[in-house]
Amino acid sequence: MPTYDFFCNACQQRFDVFLTFNEYGKKAVHCIHCGSENVRRRMTKVRIAKSMDSRMEGMEGDLSSLAGMEDDPRAFGKMMRKMGNEMGEDLPAEFDEVVDRLESGQSPEEIESALPDLGENLADE
């Protein structure tokens, strides 16, 4: 059965309701907290799956401008964050740390000096 997300206008609480497709829109929904019928359906986020090809196409512009970023760590960090988000995969915590440092203006050389063990665990995987 699908789960539907509702909000109660009376008590201001969120709650989920399990309804079959046939029940949805026909069966009255009551707040599970206060019993009120004064509820509205909340629209939840939708996630769209992208193929690796479409992800790479979305990053083409960023990759072509990579050559001009060697002297601008903030722009490089911004581009890396965007690429990480586009990949749609869980990246290691080190990735976020490096991107945060780049976005704060730290150069790749400074980051490498501050984090000498960076990437060691990746070689074992």
pLDDT tens across 70-102, in order? 778 888 888 888 777 776 667 777 888 888 988
1 and 29 Cβ atoms separated by less than 8 Å: no
Q: Edge-to-edge strand order for the sheet containing 3-8? A: 14-18, 3-8, 39-41
Could you count the other beta carbons within 10 Å of the beta carbon of residue 79?
20
Q: What is the spatial distance between Cα 41 and Cα 94, in angstroms, rounded to a whole number?
A: 39
Break the chain into its structural domains and give their ranges: 3-41, 52-124
Q: Phi then psi for 52, rounded to 5 degrees?
A: -60, -35
Write the pLDDT tens digit of every residue in 35-75.
999 999 988 766 666 676 766 666 666 555 566 667 788 88
pTM for this structure? 0.45
